[in-house]
Amino acid sequence: MPMSQAKVFFAVFTICALLFAGCGKEPEGTKFPEEVRDAVFDSVFALLGQGKISSRYDYEDARNRIAVGLFSTMRSDSLSRADSLYYGRLLFWSGRSKKARNVFEDLKAKGGKESRKAFLELINMEIEAGDASVAERMMTDYRNLYPPGSENRWGLCDQCENLGGRYNDRNHLDDAIRVYVDELNSLSYGPSSCSFSLMSDLTNTCQEADKLDVCRTQVLRCREGFEKGYAEYVDTVTYADSNEQKEDTTPKRYEGYIKACHRLLERIDLIGKPAPELTFIHVYNGDSSLTISSFKGKVVMLDFWATWCEPCIIGYSELRILLEEYGARGLEIIGVTSLQGQFTDIETGKVQENLALEREIEITGEYIKSQNLIWPCVILEKSIFNNEYMVGSIPTFVVIDREGHVRFIKASAGGIEQKRRMIERFL
């Protein structure tokens, strides 16, 4: 065989050998787990922005479906501990629960910060699998091992929000309240505390359960904790240094938490009281003389929103469902926003600034049509924040009964089952 032919034969033989050697093997991925995780969330957030996700279950289904599609692109060789955490999450999301559990258990046994995070992931797995009792026992063990501190600032905030929300979805309100209160009682009230987020969830649940005293007690404890933490902080050497103070955002965080607690107490006090009137400068999809009291005899849901708010889009989806289900029985919806001075296109991120009043009214009307908001929507004379309904974040939903009394104020989208129960109670 001539030399040139021998070279060709050897090359073909080598290629064939490599191909056959690789048969039956899963192709090696090219992206590290963190990159794949980021790609999953980018896709999920896009669906959120399109209003295609309206509950934690929709979110999990979408996340898992996308993770399955991207799993084969992921590397699993020579992973750091941090990457192993992401790898475990992606294993779980793509339906490989047994392998995910092995990864987390291995990390948990090795110690270090990844051990704590792996413990949290194991709790998350039990919550999503629906084994609440096991999850709660693991939460108790976690608190014993990792009390709140500089390395564990958020405690079990995410896990409690998730488990409490699932209890709430099933109308197990006492169980949800217990989950929130157990965590709140374990927290220290530092500048990175997650307690206010849990306080908001507790407030929503206690309103429905008619346990406002439980909520008031916790909010007062929360406020006192922040006030004490703030007082101790301003006595520190760091704060006493005037140069440090200029760049220090800690006082503002403390002040924000304390103000938020005041707002929650005012919100609690508003339940059962006559619904405050609001002054509107423009009305869409309704008569310009529209007022809240003009709907007396109906059950009214106010929805506080803004054009730049992505979670508000989830709220719109819920409201369309609720109006279809209860509109014929006497439910009315009023969307409430205010002038922002600018408009942000959520899909493109493009911002139009320094808008004249007439232009903002016009562009808000276009937004209302694009989002298919078929109910009356109004522009407030005041800001949508810190108004008579104690709105601190959006979306915020308010249920007003047929006699015109405030019965429910819920901050955050999601939890459509709770909204259904509150509407049905007063129809």
pLDDT tens readout for residues 246-272: 677 888 888 988 998 999 999 999 999
pLDDT in tens, 123-133: 999 999 999 99
Residues 33 and 120 in one domain: yes
Point out the domain boundary residue: 271, 300, 325: 271
162 inside domain:
yes
Q: What is the CATH number of the domain that holds 188?
A: 1.25.40
What's residue 15's pLDDT? 33
Same domain? For 264 and 285 the reply is no
Average pLDDT over residues 388-402: 94
Name the DSSP class of 215: H
User: Does residue 210 belong to any structural domain of this protein?
Assistant: yes
The per-residue pLDDT for 150 is: 64
Q: What is the pLDDT of residue 242?
A: 58
Give the per-residue pLDDT at 5: 44
Is residue 188 domain-shared with residue 323, that is, in the same domain?
Answer: no
Determine how many CB atoms are found less than 10 A away from the CB of residue 135: 24
The pLDDT value given to residue 192: 65
Evaluate whether residue 302 is within a structural domain.
yes
Residue 376 identity (one-letter amino acid): P
Q: Tell me which amino acid residue 182 is.
A: D
Phi, psi of 91 (to 5 degrees): -60, -45
The b-or-e profile of 285-317 (16+ CB within 10 A means b, else e) is beeeebebeebeebbbbbbbbbbebeebbbbbb
Residue 1 has pLDDT above 90, yes or no: no
Question: Judging by DSSP bridges, how do beta strands 343-344 and 280-284 pair with one another?
Answer: unpaired
Distance, CA of 419 to CA of 427 (rounded, Å): 12
Q: Could you say which DSSP state residue 55 is in?
A: S
Residue 112's alpha-carbon distances to 88, 148, 190, 408, in angstroms, are: 17, 16, 23, 44
Q: Please state the rounded mean pLDDT for residues 362-386.
A: 94
- Alpha-carbon distance of 316 to 54, in angstroms, equals 9
Query: Average pLDDT for residues 102-113, to the nearest whole number?
Result: 93
| CATH at 334 | 3.40.30.10
Distance (Å, rounded) from C-alpha 183 to C-alpha 185? 5
* Among 97, 79, 65, residue whose Cα is nearest residue 33: 79
The pLDDT of residue 41 is above 70? yes
Structure tokens at 316: 């719109």
Sign, CA dihedral 311-414-208-255, equals negative
Choose one of 247, 271, 295: the last residue of a domain.
271
Say yes or no to pLDDT of 230 above 80. Answer: yes
Is 408 part of any domain?
yes
Given a cut of 60, whether residue 2 has pLDDT beyond it is no
Residues with Cβ < 8 Å from 165, sequence gap 6 or more? Answer: 56, 176, 201, 414, 415
Residues 6+ apart with CB under 8 A from 91: 97, 99, 100, 103
Q: How many domains does the structure of the chain reveal?
A: 3
With beta carbons less than 8 A apart as the criterion, state whether 381 and 281 touch.
yes
Residue pLDDT, tens place only, 332-368: 999 999 998 888 887 777 888 888 999 999 999 999 9
Would 136 be classed as within a structural domain?
no
- Average pLDDT of the chain is 87
Residues in the chain: 427
**Is-contact 397 312, C-beta < 8 A?**
no
Structural domain includes residue 196? yes
Contact call for residues 310 and 280 (beta carbons, < 8 A)? no
pLDDT of 118 above 70: yes
Q: Report CA torsion sign: 28, 30, 33, 37.
A: negative
Question: Does residue 230 belong to any structural domain of this protein?
Answer: yes
Domain membership of residue 19 (yes or no) is: no
Range of the structural domain that residue 33 is part of: 25-129
Write down the pLDDT at residue 26: 42
Secondary structure class of 76 (helix, strand, coil) = coil
Q: Are residues 118 and 73 in the same domain?
A: yes
Whether residue 126 contacts residue 97, with contact meaning beta carbons closer than 8 Å, is answered with no
Q: Let me know: does 160 contact 180? Beta carbons within 8 Å.
A: yes
The answer to whether residues 173 and 208 touch, using CB atoms and an 8 Å cutoff, is: yes
Are 286 and 415 part of one and the same domain? yes
> 301 in helix, strand or coil?
strand
Q: How many beta carbons lie within 10 A of that of residue 341, not counting itself? A: 11
Kindly provide the b/e burial profile for residues 67-96, where b requires at least 16 CB atoms within 10 angstroms of the residue's own CB: beebbeebbbeebeeebbbbbbbbbbbbeb
Question: What percent of the chain clears pLDDT 70, i.e. is strictly above it?
Answer: 89
229 and 292 both lie in a single domain: no
Are the C-beta atoms of residues 407 and 426 closer than 8 Å to each other? yes
Confidence of residue 239 (pLDDT cuts 50, 70, 90): low
Q: How far is CA 262 from CA 192, 269, 379, 382, in A?
A: 18, 11, 26, 20
| H-helix segments, 97-241 | 97-110, 113-129, 132-145, 157-169, 173-186, 195-209, 212-234, 237-240
Neighbours of 388 (CB within 10 A): 13
* pLDDT at 350 (0 to 100): 83
The residue-averaged pLDDT of 369-385 equals 95
End-to-end CA distance of the chain, in Å?
Answer: 93
Which of 112-121, 208-217, 230-239 is predicted with the least confidence, judged by mean pLDDT?
A: 230-239
